[in-house]
Amino acid sequence: MEDTHAEMVACLARVRNGDEAAARELVDRVYPLVLRVVRGHRPRAVPEEDLAQEVLIKMFTRLDQYRQEVPFEHWVSRIALTTCLDHLRAQYRRPEWRLADLSEEESRYLEECCAADTQGEAPGEAMAARELAGKLLEHLNPKDRVVVTLLDLEGYSVAEVAALTGMNGTLIKVRAFRARRKLRRLMEQWRKEKKI
C-alpha cells in the first residue's frame, strides 16, 4: 500500500515535469477507478467512455491544484463524482424514461420487492434489481441520487460519502432519508400503475 502510494507520488511528480510516459502510466493507473465511479453514477444518455475522458482531462488540467492532503485516488474520485453530478443535473432537467420502459423481469421484481414477506433473493435477479434500482434513482434529484447510490448500492459509510462529496454528515443523512421515502412511494405507485 505504502509502495503504491510512493509510486503514485513519484508518477505525479514526473507528470508535473511534463513526462508523457508518466502521464500515460497515470491514465492506466486511474482509469479503472474512474470507470467504476462513472459506471455507478453516469446518466443513461452519456456514453461511459466520453464521461471517463472528460474526467481524465479535468484531472490533468487541475493537477496543479492537488495538494496531497488526501490520497490521489480520493481526489480523482471526487472529480469523477462531480462530473457525473453535472451530467445528472442536465438529465434531471429533461428526463427521458417512462414507466412503460420497465422490462418484464423488472416489473416482476418490483412486485416481489413490494410484497410483504419475500426476500427478493432469487439468483440471477440481481442484475434486474440493479437495473430497476437505476431506473428508480433517475427520479431523484442528482445530489440525492449520488448519496443513495453511494450509501445503499455501493456500501459506503456516511463519513466516506462526506469525504467524497464534500457534504456534511447530517445533510447526507437527511438527503438519504428523504430520498428513500421518495423511492418507496415511487415503487408503490409503479406497482399500482403496472397492475392497472
Partner 1 sequence: MAEGEKNMKNPQDPWSKLAAAARRAEPDLRDEVAPYGLTTRVLAAWRQHAQAEINWERFGWRALASAFAVAAICVMLNYNGLKSFGDDNLEVADMVDTETVL
Residues that bind partner 1 (CB under 8 A): 20, 23-24, 27-28, 31-32, 35-36, 39, 49, 52-53, 56-57, 60-61, 109-110, 112-114, 116-121, 125-127, 129-130, 132-133, 136, 151-158, 176, 180, 183-184, 187-188
C-beta closer to partner 1: residue 78 or 120: 120
| Closest separation in Å from C-beta 150 to partner 1 | 9
| Closest separation in Å from C-beta 39 to partner 1 | 5
C-beta closer to partner 1: residue 2 or 104: 104
| Closest separation in Å from C-beta 94 to partner 1 | 25
C-beta closer to partner 1: residue 93 or 195: 195
| Closest separation in Å from C-beta 137 to partner 1 | 10
Cα 48 to Cα 140: distance, rounded to the nearest angstrom? 21
| Closest separation in Å from C-beta 75 to partner 1 | 16
- Give residue 131's Cα distance to chain centre: 14
Q: Residue 169 contacts by C-beta under 8 Å, 6 or more apart in sequence?
A: 158, 159, 162
> CA distances (Å), 55 to each of 15, 78, 99, 125, 174, in order?
17, 10, 31, 32, 29
Neighbours of 182 (CB within 10 A): 16
Neighbours of 96 (CB within 10 A): 10
C-beta closer to partner 1: residue 31 or 89: 31
**Residue with the three cell numbers 490533468:** 60
C-beta closer to partner 1: residue 96 or 188: 188
C-beta closer to partner 1: residue 85 or 158: 158
> CA distances (Å), 148 to each of 75, 91, 101, in order?
20, 17, 22
| Closest separation in Å from C-beta 66 to partner 1 | 14
Query: Given 3-state DSSP classes, what are the helix, strand and coil percentages for the chain, each rounded to the nearest 5?
Result: 75, 0, 25
